């Protein structure tokens, strides 16, 4: 009678695993393994007297069907160069960018091959990894995990398509000394101790580059978000800290998507990204970018968003993906009951957000009555409902604006009600606002001698627009200097001076900017080079920073023109623009040429309640949809 309860416990544990990973799944994986099958059978046999570890082994093997490594001679060469470069302590991240630019060329990566895990993972490797993962489960930050949570947040032996290495042991040996004295501390203290030692600069790695092997991530100082996510997973799991990868397929108000990790402790998820300075759980929340959807990527193939046979986009087919948007964001349910034609019988429709030039799917909705329901949608976004069939998206309805309260407005243009709009930019202005606001409190000094003993001061006034600023002068001076507010980077893109005849005044650059590793004279000269995308930069710790011009003679100054650091998306002189509104496709409202004097464009024939897009046909690629509300562009 004493044995019977013990057997029940074992059966509960084993059956829990079996309910998640069916016997059919395991048999299918073993069959696919071919000649490598004996390696996996040896692992299962090895744990014959340890039911939980046996279940863990079956979990890994059953879900190994789509897992693989990428291998090739060039990849080995790349790793050797990367490790050599990262071993140089004093190399700057800009120099590392040069290396990556030279190595990330598509033709160099064409000879790589896929090696399925089922065909080459050894039993010895799995046993060593499983034992290490169970040891990690004993940590104070993982003891609360259920077996299913352990399988997803600690147990997996790989992250993506990286070359396999015994990273659980290697990372624990390297990083456990960092937290040896913190075993009883809260997870935020542990994260702070680790994150302050990891340097991070972003570099967007092309999609054709395989995931980085674990050992080459130890010294990473620049890389894609995916690299830092992988580093986080290897590092924290080796220390017994549950962690999982999450992503948004595309920001709702910016181009591209993003990937990060979340530490899972005490039943809560805390978004992080090593290499940044945000506190535990603040990653994503501190972005100006907004996520329409947040998905979690797990190891097993028992989840997925759409699990039937209908032709659906690849994002929604992935059986490792779960929707966790509601865990992080206030959301709304978007019900469209009358928006779709009755003749359409597709089971699913999709919501897209705008990227740079195209609409990208981020969510799906199930058919309900005559329409579709889209659940847990992020707020403050514009979505375009679409159908999908055989790889082609087609517009299904007008764009939908979901405000910060979850109220939905259909952006159906009213072509019977036309109005005038004044446009000053073609792209969102979040960064230009920050850069321009950082000039408030700065000032210009115009001196009659190089010591500025006899001088006049002109304060920088709060900027109403984030383009060229013009101020009238009326004096004779020998020199000029700009003094930024203290504890800022002193960024400014351009400074121009004009005499009474309208001629631009030149001079010798002078000052004391200390921009870190850059040459100080080079960075100061950027304020006078005519390039609006180059900018000066001083150290925020420098409290006496200034830069200026020595004219070499007394000059009657008439005008000062200056430009805060900018992204070059404001209206520019001589450049060709075209305004569009959406009505089942982009409809042109005509072309205009920009004027520096006006720094804006006017259109008199814009339909009310329209979604708008301004394109620059002269140069640039950053363009953003907007509505026109209360006399201003509102970016989405």
What pLDDT score does 336 carry? 86
**Residue 15 pLDDT greater than 60, yes or no:** no
pLDDT tens sequence across 560-590: 999 999 888 888 888 999 999 999 999 999 9
What pLDDT score does 170 carry? 96
Chosen domain end from 563, 580, 611: 563
CA–CA gap between residue 386 and residue 350 (Å, rounded):
5
**Residue 545 pLDDT greater than 60, yes or no:** yes
**Residue 4 pLDDT greater than 60, yes or no:** no
pLDDT classification of 20: cutoffs 50, 70, 90 = very low
Same domain, 453 and 514: yes
pLDDT classification of 598: cutoffs 50, 70, 90 = low
Q: Which range of residues forms the domain containing residue 339?
A: 330-410
- Averaged pLDDT for residues 164-181: 94
**Minimal CA–CA distance to 253: which of 355, 119, 148?**
355
pLDDT tens sequence across 100-154: 888 898 888 988 999 999 999 999 999 999 999 999 999 999 999 999 999 999 9
Same domain, 423 and 404: no
Q: Residue 365, Cα to own-chain centre: how many angstroms?
A: 25
Percent of the chain's residues with pLDDT above 90: 66
**Residue 434 pLDDT greater than 90, yes or no:** no
What pLDDT score does 264 carry? 94
What tokens appear for 406 in the block? 């979850």
Q: Is residue 225 part of a domain?
A: no
- When mean pLDDT is compared across 112-116, 133-137, 180-184, 291-295, the lowest value belongs to 180-184
Q: Angle, nearest 10°, between helix axes 225-238 and 123-136?
A: 70
What pLDDT score does 456 carry? 96
Same domain, 439 and 485: yes
Domains of the chain: total: 3
- Averaged pLDDT for residues 219-225: 87
**Residue 360 pLDDT greater than 90, yes or no:** yes
Q: Is residue 488 part of a domain?
A: yes
- When mean pLDDT is compared across 379-383, 430-434, 508-512, 549-553, the lowest value belongs to 430-434
- Give the helix/strand (H/E) hosting 85: helix 73-86
Rounded to two decimals, what is the model's pTM? Answer: 0.86
Same domain, 463 and 525: yes
Same domain, 423 and 492: no
What pLDDT score does 514 carry? 86
Q: Is residue 51 part of a domain?
A: no
Same domain, 449 and 506: yes
pLDDT tens sequence across 459-499: 998 776 678 889 999 999 999 999 999 988 889 999 999 99
pLDDT tens sequence across 305-319: 998 777 889 899 999
CA–CA gap between residue 600 and residue 595 (Å, rounded):
7
- Averaged pLDDT for residues 85-98: 79
Torsion angle, alpha carbons of 143, 145, 149, 154, to 10: -20
CA–CA gap between residue 95 and residue 252 (Å, rounded):
33
Same domain, 531 and 443: yes
Q: Is residue 244 part of a domain?
A: no
Chosen domain end from 515, 546, 563: 563
pLDDT classification of 337: cutoffs 50, 70, 90 = confident
Mean pLDDT, the chain, integer: 90
CA–CA gap between residue 523 and residue 513 (Å, rounded):
8
Rounded CA Rg of the chain: 29
The count of other CB atoms within 10 Å of the CB of residue 597 is 8
Q: Is residue 474 part of a domain?
A: yes
Same domain, 338 and 406: yes
What tokens appear for 15 in the block? 């059956």
CA–CA gap between residue 464 and residue 443 (Å, rounded):
17
Q: What is the 3-state secondary structure (H, E, C) of 503-570?
A: CECCCEEEECCCCCCCCHHHHHHHHHCCCCCCCCCCCCCCCCCCEEEEEEEEEEEEEEEEECCCCCCE
Chosen domain end from 563, 590, 625: 563
Same domain, 558 and 434: yes
- The DSSP secondary-structure symbol of 425 reads B
Q: Is residue 630 part of a domain?
A: yes
Same domain, 583 and 495: no
Task: Let me know: does 232 contact 274? Beta carbons within 8 Å.
Answer: yes
- When mean pLDDT is compared across 125-129, 154-158, 380-384, 523-527, the lowest value belongs to 523-527
What pLDDT score does 340 carry? 67
Q: Is residue 490 part of a domain?
A: yes
Task: Let me know: does 13 contact 49? Beta carbons within 8 Å.
Answer: no
Same domain, 522 and 583: no
* Residue with more model confidence, 613 or 568: 613
CA–CA gap between residue 28 and residue 21 (Å, rounded):
11
pLDDT classification of 10: cutoffs 50, 70, 90 = very low
What pLDDT score does 14 carry? 38
Q: Is residue 539 part of a domain?
A: yes
Same domain, 552 and 521: yes
């Amino acid at each position: 009678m004493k044995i019977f309860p013990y057997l029940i416990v074992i059966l509960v544990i084993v059956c829990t695993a079996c309910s998640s990973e069916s016997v059919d799944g395991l048999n299918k994986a073993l069959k696919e393994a071919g000649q490598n099958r004996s390696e996996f059978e040896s692992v299962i046999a090895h744990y014959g007297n340890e039911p939980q570890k046996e279940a863990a082994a079956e979990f890994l093997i059953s879900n190994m069907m789509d897992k693989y490594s990428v291998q090739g001679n060039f990849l080995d060469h790349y790793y050797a160069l990367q490790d050599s470069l990262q071993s140089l302590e004093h190399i700057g991240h800009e120099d590392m960018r040069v290396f990556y630019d030279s190595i990330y060329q598509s033709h160099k990566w064409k000879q790589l091959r896929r090696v399925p895990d089922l065909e080459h993972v050894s039993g010895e490797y799995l046993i060593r990894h499983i034992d290490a993962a169970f040891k990690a489960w004993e940590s104070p930050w993982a003891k609360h995990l259920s077996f299913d949570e352990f399988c997803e947040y600690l147990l997996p032996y790989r992250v993506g398509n990286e070359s396999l290495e015994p990273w659980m042991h290697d990372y624990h040996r390297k990083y456990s000394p960092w937290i040896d004295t913190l075993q009883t501390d809260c997870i935020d203290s542990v994260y702070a101790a680790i994150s302050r030692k990891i340097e991070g600069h972003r570099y967007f790695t092309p999609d054709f580059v395989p995931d980085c092997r674990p050992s080459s991530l130890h010294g990473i100082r620049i890389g894609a978000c995916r690299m830092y996510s992988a580093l986080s997973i290897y590092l924290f799991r080796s220390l017994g800290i549950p962690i999982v990868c999450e992503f948004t397929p595309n920001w709702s108000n910016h181009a591209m998507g993003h990937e990060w990790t979340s530490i899972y402790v005490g039943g809560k998820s805390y978004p992080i990204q090593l290499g940044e300075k945000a506190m535990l759980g603040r990653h994503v929340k501190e972005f100006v970018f907004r996520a329409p959807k947040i998905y979690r990527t797990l190891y097993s193939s028992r989840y997925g968003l759409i699990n039937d046979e209908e032709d659906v986009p690849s994002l929604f087919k992935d059986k490792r993906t779960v929707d966790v948007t509601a865990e992080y964001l206030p959301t709304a349910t978007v019900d469209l009951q009358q928006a779709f034609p009755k003749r359409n019988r597709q089971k699913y429709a999709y919501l897209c957000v705008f990227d740079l030039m195209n609409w990208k799917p981020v969510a799906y909705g199930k058919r309900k009555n005559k329409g579709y329901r889209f659940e847990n949608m992020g707020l403050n976004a514009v979505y375009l409902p679409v159908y999908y069939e055989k790889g082609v998206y087609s517009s299904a309805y007008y764009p939908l604006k979901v405000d910060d309260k979850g109220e939905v407005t259909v952006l159906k243009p009213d072509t019977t009600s036309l109005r005038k709009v004044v446009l000053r930019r073609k792209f969102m202005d979040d960064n230009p606002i920050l850069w321009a606001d950082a000039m408030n409190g700065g000032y210009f000094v115009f001196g009659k001698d190089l010591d500025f003993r006899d001088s006049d001061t002109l304060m920088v006034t709060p900027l109403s627009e984030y383009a060229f600023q013009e101020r009238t002068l009326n004096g004779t001076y020998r020199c000029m200097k700009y003094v930024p507010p203290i504890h800022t980077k002193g960024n400014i893109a351009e400074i121009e001076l004009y005499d009474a005849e309208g001629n631009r005044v030149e001079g010798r650059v002078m000052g004391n900017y200390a921009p870190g590793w850059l040459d100080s004279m080079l960075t100061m000269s950027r304020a006078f080079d005519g390039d609006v995308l180059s900018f000066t930069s001083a150290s925020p710790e420098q409290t006496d920073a200034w830069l200026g011009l020595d004219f070499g003679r007394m000059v009657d100054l008439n005008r000062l023109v200056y430009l805060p650091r900018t992204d070059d998306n404001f209206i520019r002189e001589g450049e060709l623009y075209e305004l569009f509104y959406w009505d089942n496709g982009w409809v042109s409202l005509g072309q205009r040429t920009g004027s520096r004097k006006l720094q804006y464009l006017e259109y008199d024939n814009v339909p009310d309640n329209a979604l708008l897009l301004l394109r620059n046909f002269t140069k640039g690629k950053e363009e953003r949809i907007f509505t026109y509300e209360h006399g201003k562009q509102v970016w989405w």
